[in-house]
Amino acid sequence: HEREHDREISELVSKHEEEMEKLRTELNKEQQHLLDELQQQMAARHKAEVEQAQLQSQTLHSLELEALRLSLNNMHTSQLELTQSNLRKEKETALVELREMLNDKRAQEVAILQSRHQLEWEKIKEQCMKEKEDL
């Protein structure tokens, strides 16, 4: 009876150990499966975060480029306005100089014409006087 009892206990212990081994194996499989799922989720999340970071970086880069473009456009516009202003001033200065030069030339020509007129007037006057004397 005692042997029978020992044998049953031994069978129970053996069954218990088999079941425990089976449960350990299942638990290890389930743990591995959960770890694989977790790794996949983490990889997917990491990929999504990297993509989001790249998108934000591209957006930021695009905004920086647009800001630079606008800044260059403003600088170009300012430069053009400054150039136009300088050209306008140079043109006005050149016109003033040309007007002064033309006025000086006109004054010289008027003086020369007046001098010639005076000389001719005097010649005519002398001629008139001669003709009077001759008459």
Residue 1 has pLDDT above 90, yes or no: no
- 19 vs 25: CA distance, rounded Å: 10
CA atoms within 13 A on the CB side of 115: 6
Residue position matching structure tokens 């975060």: 49
Residue 30 scores a pLDDT above 90: yes
How much of the chain is helix, strand and coil, in % rounded to 5? Answer: 100, 0, 0
Cα(78)–Cα(121) distance, rounded to whole angstroms?
Answer: 63
Q: Which of 1-15, 43-57, 81-95 has the lowest mean pLDDT?
A: 1-15
pTM over 0.75: no
DSSP 5-57: HHHHHHHHHHHHHHHHHHHHHHHHHHHHHHHHHHHHHHHHHHHHHHHHHHHHH
- pLDDT tens track for 39-63: 999 999 999 999 999 999 999 999 9
